[in-house]
Amino acid sequence: MLDVAAVVGSFALHPPPTVGPVAELPLSFHRGIYHTLERAVARATGPLGLVIIFVYSFLIAFVLPLPSEIVLATPLRLGLPYSVEIALIMLVSGAGKACGSVFAFAIGQEAKQSGPVIRFLRRSRFDVVAWSERQTVELARKYGYVGLAMALSVPFFPDTLSIYAFAVLEEDYLKFAAATFVGSVGRLLVTVALLGGAAAVI
């Protein structure tokens, strides 16, 4: 299996700022969740492993800014060819993230019409609104849902930030979820390609 867990280890030790409903919980609480989820994903096997991948991907789209690439290190051991297991992991992860994005989307639509929420985000440790104006919002304005898929295809960047930034601008739940799914699968494909290329060079 790909040793993606080692590559994303720095994210676990120094997790990025949290946005969404758990933003103001203690840092120790965040780290506890991070480590618990990462351990669960790294040890998941069989059909239950796919359920864990789905739940993990759902949560990182909705509340936890963790790297989705770690799911590639899940030792499914379903007795299927490696390529088939990786494909299953990508599809299940994409589906989980798409479902999570619908919740984030609902919050984003609420935020778009709510001054207090916008003010809260601007006062947070990591200014999601300012960041989205500089980076992700430009993609949304230029490319719409294709821009969301592009943003989510960038490896090792927290999906939560991109999803919330786009959620404030966009309006179609189905297209939003579809773009999240495509971007999530694309991100894992890019990761596999990059790691495969690096391994070939080494």
pLDDT reported for residue 25: 43
d(Cα 96, Cα 83) in Å, to the nearest integer? 20
Q: pTM score > 0.75 for this model?
A: no
The pLDDT of residue 23? 44
Q: What region does 29 belong to: left with phi over 0, alpha with psi -120 to 50, or beta? A: alpha
Return per-residue pLDDT of the chain as tens, 202 residues: 444 444 444 444 344 444 444 444 444 555 677 778 878 888 889 999 999 999 999 988 877 777 789 899 898 999 999 999 999 999 999 999 999 988 888 876 655 555 554 555 556 555 555 655 566 667 777 888 888 888 889 887 777 777 877 776 667 888 889 999 999 999 999 999 998 766 555 5
Q: What is the pLDDT of residue 29?
A: 52
Domain ranges of the chain: 4-201
Between CA 132 and CA 166 the distance in angstroms is 8
Cβ atoms of 58 and 35 within 8 Å: the answer is no
pLDDT value at position 142? 80
Res 95: pLDDT: 97
Distance from C-alpha of 202 to C-alpha of 200, rounded to nearest angstrom: 6
Contact 5, 17 (CB under 8 A): no
pLDDT score for 105: 80
* Distance separating alpha carbons of residues 13 and 34, to the nearest angstrom: 9
